[in-house]
Structure formats: structure tokens, C-alpha cells
Amino acid sequence: MLTKTIPTTTDAYTSFSRSEWSSLAYQASVSLTDEERTQLQGINETVSPDEVEQIYVPLTELLYMHTTHAVNLHNDQNRFFHRETKKVPFVIGIAGSVSVGKSTTARLIQALISRWPNRPKVDLVTTDGFLYPNKVLEERGLMKRKGFPESYDIRKLVRFLSDIKSGRKSTEVPLYSHLTYDVLSEKSQPIDEPDVVIVEGINVLQVNKKDRRISPVFVSDFFDYSIYVDADEENIIKWYIDRFKVLQHTAFQDPNSFFHRYRHLSETEAEEVALSIWKTINGVNLEKNIRPTRYRADMILTKGNGHRVEQVQVKKS
């Protein structure tokens, strides 16, 4: 009796080593200044010129192909339907664990896309603003599950993306303060006729598998392209602890900081607290909710030591 071989999920991707990927760039002159790279990199994270030129330049060149294809398809459909409709924004989703560096990835992509020949307007939206306010989380007993799927107002996030993809000229998104660890009720981010929208957050590739009544569609249904930023958990834990220790001597010193109580911890105590938070909250969320979404992405960036991307996987089409 013959047995059927079931393909693995990774069979759906073409894998590139760092050197293979870097060889694909044909516009190596597109880059960022030292000052720009410093402004875009995250806490305790250094973005080298090589990282920009070898990883992010070819990445954004691939995205340029996708956006050009989307524009051509839109024009062809206008001719087919005998209608003149405005092209809606191209939406890119970026997912990954806490402390993996996805925010830096999002900012680098935004900066490089804005340098495309057509100088597109690029807005970056983080899903932190779509968390429920702390008051609501406390009422629902969810403060220790902040970042888990149930801590987000998915309806509001889906409504925003629906507005974007329906061609609405302008809208607003809520903002979040990492200092106070809460949504800013009095402030919002205006989104006014962008060409490209980057949506970054740990939850953007998750599905509402527990309760579809939350939303009949998924956040990722609105994405034209999606990227998952990955790394071994051992590295992510190290980056998380290192960031915690940096913040302890900077942001945590502010009396308005939600984590102000940790400002006087010794280095050993700070490491223990950070590791405890990771093991009880962020690590659990990564294992149960975030990492399982990895193969829903069109591209997977796998990082090694020092946030250096070592492998790029692109879903076959």
C-alpha cells in the first residue's frame, strides 16, 4: 500500500540565505544616512548600513513589484468594468513577538518605501492603540493578559481597515503610550489618503478562532502583503531583558511611568522581574497565539544574534 507524503508548511516557501537575498538588490544606491538609521532603530538595537542594503533594500524592491502589480490590476479592472475608481491603499501587515524588532522593521520599510520613484505617502499604524484601555482590561480581569487576542478591540481595528480598503479619504486611529502603558484617549493619528499603510503588531495575523462573533472577517483579510519577524526564543528573551534594563534607567525613572516601581531594582532583580514577566505573559502569548501565525505570512524574516536577519523565506506564488 502506497503512503501519501504530506508536504510540510515550509514547502510553501522559497528560502534565501542572507548572502543569497542580498545579491537580489539592483538599487543598492538607495540607503539611509547614519542619522536616519539611528532614529529608526529600536531600544538597545543597532541598524547597520549592511542590514539596510542587504536585507531591506531588496525587500522593499519586492514590495515595489507587488504594489506596481496592484496598480496595473486596478487599472485593468477599471477598463473591464467601464468605471473610474480611485486605487485604495496597499496594506502591509507586520507581525512578530514582543522585542523581536518588528517595529524597527516597520519603520525601515516605511522610510525606504517613501523613497520610491513615485514618492508614495506611507502611514505606519501600530495595533497597540487598539488595545482596550486599562480601565476596561482591569474590569475584565485582563491586565495580565495584555497583548493576548482578547485584550484588543478587534471590531475597531477591522472597522479602520475596512474604511481604508473602501477608499475612505481620511480617518483616525487611536494612539498608545508606552510610558503610561495605556491608550491615549485624547489623542489620535490622522490617516489622510495614504498610498501605502503599514500595520504593525503582534496580533495582526491571528484569527478569531474562539469566537467568530467578534468579527466575521480577520485583520489579515485586508492585507496585500504580510511579513512575520521571527527569531529563536532564547534570543528574544535576551533582547527583552536587555530592553527592560535600559528602560529601568530611562523611561521607568519618570513618575508617570506605569513601571516606575521597578526603577530601583538591582541588575539581578531587574533580570529576574523581566524573566518572570516573559515566562508568565509574553512567552505564553508567543507560544499560544503569535508564533502559530508565522506561516500565514507572505514573508518570514528570521533573525540571529544582534537582530541580524540571517534567512528570508518568501511564500511561493
Residue 28 has pLDDT above 90, yes or no: no
Confidence bin at 214 (pLDDT 50/70/90): low
What pLDDT was estimated at residue 45? Answer: 87
Q: How many CB atoms lie within 10 A of CB 234?
A: 8
What pLDDT was estimated at residue 1? Answer: 44
Q: What is the pLDDT of residues 233-259, one digit of tens each?
A: 999 999 999 999 999 999 999 999 999
Confidence bin at 26 (pLDDT 50/70/90): confident
Q: Which residue pairs, CB below 8 angstroms and at least 24 apart, start in 4-13? A: 9/295, 10/295, 10/313, 12/295, 12/315, 12/316, 13/300, 13/313, 13/314, 13/315, 13/316
Q: How many CB atoms lie within 10 A of CB 198?
A: 23
Q: What is the pLDDT of residues 71-122, one digit of tens each?
A: 999 999 999 999 999 899 999 999 999 999 999 999 999 999 999 988 999 9
Q: What is the pLDDT of residues 263-274, one digit of tens each?
A: 999 999 999 999
Question: What is the three-class DSSP state of 203?
Answer: coil
The answer to whether residues 181 and 260 touch, using CB atoms and an 8 Å cutoff, is: no
Distances, alpha carbon 177 to alpha carbons 60, 234, 246, in Å: 29, 27, 17
What pLDDT was estimated at residue 208? Answer: 64
Residue 212 has pLDDT above 60, yes or no: no
What pLDDT was estimated at residue 102? Answer: 95
Strand partners, 231: 303
Residue 5 has pLDDT above 60, yes or no: no
Residues counted in the chain:
317
What percent of the chain is predicted at pLDDT more than 70?
Answer: 94
Q: Where are the beta strands (DSSP E) in the chain?
A: 13-17, 90-96, 122-126, 170-177, 182-192, 196-200, 225-231, 299-303, 309-315
The more confidently predicted of residues 181 and 26 is 181
Q: What is the mean pLDDT of residues 197-211?
A: 83
* Mean of the per-residue pLDDT values of the chain: 92
Confidence bin at 11 (pLDDT 50/70/90): confident
Confidence bin at 203 (pLDDT 50/70/90): confident
